[in-house]
Structure 1
């Protein structure tokens, strides 16, 4: 038994901890920062004020993770973020294709606790800081309500990934809150006072069909007059979770200090809406539904934005500015919401897309006046308008990875964040990020430590791309349809198209390309044809007689015609897609973006893929072989399709696809990196939306690696991840490596983006 005499005052339990990097905030940005830094060998303290990790993606809020892929509703092809965030999304899709938010909680926690260099403090809130001098943080103080412990946490570097920026705020870091006037950055999308300067919070609920009638008695605080909510007029009783993103409030209040007030108003709305659904008599389909879950904390969109050495603006996004210090990319629409939220007569959001992804500069991810403070997640240095696109979680996680890598380089070299702008330091940061899977637009890996670069590279076969000629099904051409072709510089091939014409008619065929290399918006017309076709099945040939000046994707496009069916094939291929000029209301895609005059946003058409099991390729054959899947692609330093597939693929008839690396002298190899196709075009939403498969159909599942004695030195079965790191317990010495792969299926050839070999297992 423990007994203490009365006392005038007692102190809390005190614990002192230190690390190289302290991260406040365990949302996706904080998690990705922590994992990246820890894997680079530095000690990390991850401090999270909630009982779970994941922030808005966690089971406490239940928002799906999205970024540049934008529900496959924009023209950003193969734009899912790479590195750690990709690893998490692929893992979640493999384990949790049903989108259970509790399983995502488990996956995030599991990934963090597997890292020996991370010490995790849950339920622990930072509330005070101590500074070494005016512009340097020395330590932070935090309190855990679950163990009544006060922590004093010291480090050389700090990262604020809290969303509200509590660490940056307490340290005196420069920040902004609210919208800049249009004149400050000449932003056409800067909101008016009537529209409002802040995005609000949202609170979601889940419903469940019990199979029998369920009654509902509302609480006293539920909203009585549901007609106060304009958006409710179009409500669907079967929608739940983050499909109710528009249940939003708080943009006219202080979105930091009024959060509890905002939460109560959202509870009032949610329970009032559910009462109306259950008891108004207008929703008979809801008779058997019960209210399974209601959020207890709101999902926050916007509060403080901190100033770095560069403030991104609308122009960076729409004009796709190139930055010498790019460390990540974004691609969500500029997505602003009326400040009045559910009580606004305006549409729930105002989304305008760029023609492609945009770079995020390093100068925007550290504080301009606190020397040892990094910024991660939604608090980075951007204008309110640019924030509309950078705030989404996959982008925030991607930024976190850059912070984690930058922090590790700073610690290992005794540097402060701003010092990484020096040429060699910046190059080191960018190259290390790319090596770990962080695609940076217009940058490629140039790795002198990669032994594969010094090897003679051969393959058992190389896929000779001729388009597709096998028709497995016919589909109506009622929706404008197109096939993307990766083609080499020079004269374009003749296209042979298989059609089933229902009545004599004409078809309009167009050939387009993207005006900006690396984009996937087909906004430049190369040729037009109007072709008369007779009733019946037939193959027509089209020769545009055009040359292209650089290797790129071209789009063979067919205008909508319900009197024509076009052949499709079940054959699929890495880096090759069909796209359609259809609509996706979830991301304000109405087939064509026509912005109001003066917004500074481009007008263009959307050509987007269909989700599997649809999305088959058009049965269009091309004259002449396009050698776009050569084995040399494995060494080009780009690990996803951009202007070409950037992959090696074997011929489908090759019974034993393999890649061979041969050196003049024996090499000492400790680690091999292999990069597979986990379909960067699939968005992998983490909750609510289900996925047609838990392993991407292009991903090689099984392979073996042999040495120069033809001995199997490694075997992998049932792979599903993008990156495979093969680390040998003892270095192998060999003049030759052979990687033998199995085709993923009878319709999809084996493909590989990169193979890299290192003499040392340590992070490069």
Structure 2
């Protein structure tokens, strides 16, 4: 039936939602904030102006997710972000080891749709803000172009995770754009006008081998990159996607309002680059390649930064300053780019690392002048220099989880975001974040509600590490300086034995180093050095460093380069034990040593980094005295990853049925159990483009079950691959004892666990 209507004016269809918090922006930050908040019982409306979730990580842009791990190219050991962002990365590793961005889209959408407390509005752009007074947002309006519907979201709290800060901008929140002067924060890295004050956008493309020759006729707007791009010789046929992050433009323009102009310029570069690769004759290997995909929207790096009650700056990062309201951390380098981007003759980036991860305070995550506005993602309260490190996606998403947990406390106590800091709720916020999987440097979980804190803990065994298994030794040349990290307790350093092969009579140079800052993994203090005479052939060498350590810490047993020597390695892997190498990683400007320019305000130090599996085996060391650091008490020490110690219970390798038994004097009513396993927080887990050798981390316990005091199995899990397992019972379990029985992940990896927590509610 045809309906004919003629009216003087019409209104859009309108839908209205009442929520606990409205989140604007469905990038990785908005997604992690929404999921975290929903799991705390908040009703969330998540507004995303694109058809997919993930922002720069989505199939629309296809940038890999990274944070403090920095391609495993820095000294930030075991630094992958926790909570929901860890859950997503581990899930993506399991379901998508090939790095397919379409599968990541699916995973993100699936995670959001599983949360009944989230209402998701895709293709919806926020364009209007209503305020109840000058500094309070009452509601926001958005328009969906796909269903021609206007949405109104009412909420007591809002979070801007939109990247450009549209909600903060419309609400009148104080913001900055461009770089601060060197004088404002005394930042040696603050750029001058010649370098430029904004980072530009990038546009990626994918190529595909069709198995037969493919012609390419460029569009008329394609640039001649040989004439206009100073680094045109860096283009090659093998690299594509975010490996070409340096195809960047727009830092001299308004990176909010000129984005469409910037996109067109980047299209010109991309099609010109492909024309050069296909038609210059310099790349015969590209004959069968076709241009499979070119981004339709650019990946943005920088635009507005909003002001909170604290502005994080370069000194916070380099000095690793402690903040009483620390709630998150970062560890990416101070990564600034010349504003002229791909058209610049300068190096495409300027990366300077800290010696370790740095704390981010809560005061950076809310607006200083709009009372009910949280900030998340790259728009948080930081200087331009600090932004160079905090802007990356995993760090941004980690902070967004802070916002979600703080919002839950705001609603619980009827407070605004700033009140959480000003009225003494920070310790509760830190506690709830840590319970959810959020690691906060230099803090431990102290949770009186955890029934495990009052239990007697007994293990079937605990590893007394004295040596790696001596079978299947692999000998590798000492062409790169190598080190084994060992978690030492106060006292005399044990004598160390290592298998070596020498091609000739030569000298093995060994050093024992520690970090100058507690909790760091930069070996910048040498405690002892030894030179051992070797004779030609295979032999075992004893090294007595004749020194002691005063505090619990990781020490580095270092072997300096000698091409005449091969060191013995083991296939055995153990939680909290790791080998590192003084190699190079060009992806993060790591040339083995960072040499700080005069006046830069950054440090000079060496990089000692792990190798990606299947490499990176431990050195086959043996110790005169065992490391007594893997006992069962670690499961309630409040730290769920290695720090100054492994913080894990590890079963003995010869224990065929490893188990933990928790016993209480009185019967307990247990409604929830949380278990934390080792999914290798040192692995960066880049989300797209790069491939990975495994879908499940080799240290992760796959199979386990839980028994009550009568030996009845109350829960069983097979095929686990996640870090955190939360077990909820329909009816509270009444028992005086729990026994957790695990299987070793493999014959080369003993079972381990970071934490067990039990709750009555």
TM-score (norm 1): 0.99
Partner SS for 1:110: helix
- Are 1:311 and 2:311 counterparts? yes
Using the TM superposition, give the Cα deviation of residue 599 of structure 1 relative to its aligned residue in structure 2, in angstroms: 0.3
Using the TM superposition, give the Cα deviation of residue 180 of structure 1 relative to its aligned residue in structure 2, in angstroms: 0.3
Using the TM superposition, give the Cα deviation of residue 469 of structure 1 relative to its aligned residue in structure 2, in angstroms: 5.3
> Post-superposition, which runs of at least 4 consecutive aligned residues in structure 1 deviate over 4 A?
none
Work out the CA distance in 1 between the residues paired with 2:675 and 2:167.
Answer: 39
- Are 1:135 and 2:135 counterparts? yes
- Are 1:166 and 2:166 counterparts? yes
Using the TM superposition, give the Cα deviation of residue 423 of structure 1 relative to its aligned residue in structure 2, in angstroms: 5.7
Aligned to 2:723: 722
- Are 1:7 and 2:7 counterparts? yes
Q: What pairs up with 1:238-317 in 2 under 5 angstroms? A: 238-317=238-317
Work out the CA distance in 2 between the residues paired with 1:309 and 1:190.
Answer: 21
Work out the CA distance in 2 between the residues paired with 1:648 and 1:422.
Answer: 38
Aligned to 1:450: 450
Using the TM superposition, give the Cα deviation of residue 455 of structure 1 relative to its aligned residue in structure 2, in angstroms: 0.4
Partner SS for 2:14: strand
CA distances 1:380-417 after superposition (whole Å, capped 9, x unpaired): 00000000000000000000000000011111221100
Question: Does the Cα contact within 8 Å between 2:98 and 2:690 map onto a contact in 1?
Answer: yes
Aligned to 1:733: 734
Partner SS for 1:208: strand
CA distances 1:491-519 after superposition (whole Å, capped 9, x unpaired): 11001111101111112111100110100
- Are 1:600 and 2:613 counterparts? no
Aligned to 2:527: 526
Partner SS for 2:630: coil
CA distances 1:432-466 after superposition (whole Å, capped 9, x unpaired): 00000000001110011001111000100000111
Aligned to 1:113: 113
Query: Structure 2 regions of 5+ residues with no counterpart?
Result: none
Work out the CA distance in 1 between the residues paired with 2:227 and 2:688.
Answer: 30
- Are 1:334 and 2:339 counterparts? no
Question: Does the Cα contact within 8 Å between 1:469 and 1:620 map onto a contact in 2?
Answer: no
Partner SS for 2:599: coil
Using the TM superposition, give the Cα deviation of residue 130 of structure 1 relative to its aligned residue in structure 2, in angstroms: 0.5
Question: Does the Cα contact within 8 Å between 1:226 and 1:272 map onto a contact in 2?
Answer: no
Aligned to 1:182: 182
Work out the CA distance in 2 between the residues paired with 1:402 and 1:465.
Answer: 37
Aligned to 2:707: 706
Work out the CA distance in 2 between the residues paired with 1:226 and 1:83.
Answer: 46
Using the TM superposition, give the Cα deviation of residue 424 of structure 1 relative to its aligned residue in structure 2, in angstroms: 4.2
Q: What pairs up with 1:18-97 in 2 under 5 angstroms? A: 18-97=18-97
CA RMSD, aligned part only?
0.8
Q: What pairs up with 1:398-477 in 2 under 5 angstroms? A: 398-422=398-422, 424-468=424-468, 470=470, 472-477=473-478
Question: Does the Cα contact within 8 Å between 2:236 and 2:277 map onto a contact in 1?
Answer: no
Work out the CA distance in 2 between the residues paired with 1:225 and 1:634.
Answer: 57
Work out the CA distance in 2 between the residues paired with 1:596 and 1:424.
Answer: 41
Question: Does the Cα contact within 8 Å between 1:666 and 1:733 map onto a contact in 2?
Answer: yes
Using the TM superposition, give the Cα deviation of residue 39 of structure 1 relative to its aligned residue in structure 2, in angstroms: 0.3
Aligned to 1:513: 514
Work out the CA distance in 2 between the residues paired with 1:397 and 1:231.
Answer: 33
Aligned to 1:641: 642
Work out the CA distance in 1 between the residues paired with 2:513 and 2:678.
Answer: 26
Aligned to 1:497: 498
Work out the CA distance in 2 between the residues paired with 1:466 and 1:229.
Answer: 57
Question: Does the Cα contact within 8 Å between 2:670 and 2:734 map onto a contact in 1?
Answer: yes
Work out the CA distance in 1 between the residues paired with 2:422 and 2:250.
Answer: 42
- Are 1:654 and 2:671 counterparts? no
Work out the CA distance in 1 between the residues paired with 2:647 and 2:9.
Answer: 67
Work out the CA distance in 2 between the residues paired with 1:612 and 1:163.
Answer: 34
Work out the CA distance in 1 between the residues paired with 2:158 and 2:4.
Answer: 39
Using the TM superposition, give the Cα deviation of residue 729 of structure 1 relative to its aligned residue in structure 2, in angstroms: 1.2
Using the TM superposition, give the Cα deviation of residue 425 of structure 1 relative to its aligned residue in structure 2, in angstroms: 1.2
CA distances 1:203-236 after superposition (whole Å, capped 9, x unpaired): 0000000000000111111113533111221222
Partner SS for 2:501: strand
Aligned to 1:563: 564
Work out the CA distance in 1 between the residues paired with 2:305 and 2:4.
Answer: 48
Aligned to 2:147: 147
Partner SS for 1:142: strand
TM-score (norm 2): 0.99
Work out the CA distance in 1 between the residues paired with 2:544 and 2:553.
Answer: 18
Question: Does the Cα contact within 8 Å between 1:247 and 1:341 map onto a contact in 2?
Answer: yes
Aligned length: 760
> Is 259-268 or 531-540 further displaced after alignment?
531-540
Using the TM superposition, give the Cα deviation of residue 2 of structure 1 relative to its aligned residue in structure 2, in angstroms: 4.7
Query: Structure 1 regions of 5+ residues with no counterpart?
Result: none
Partner SS for 1:312: coil
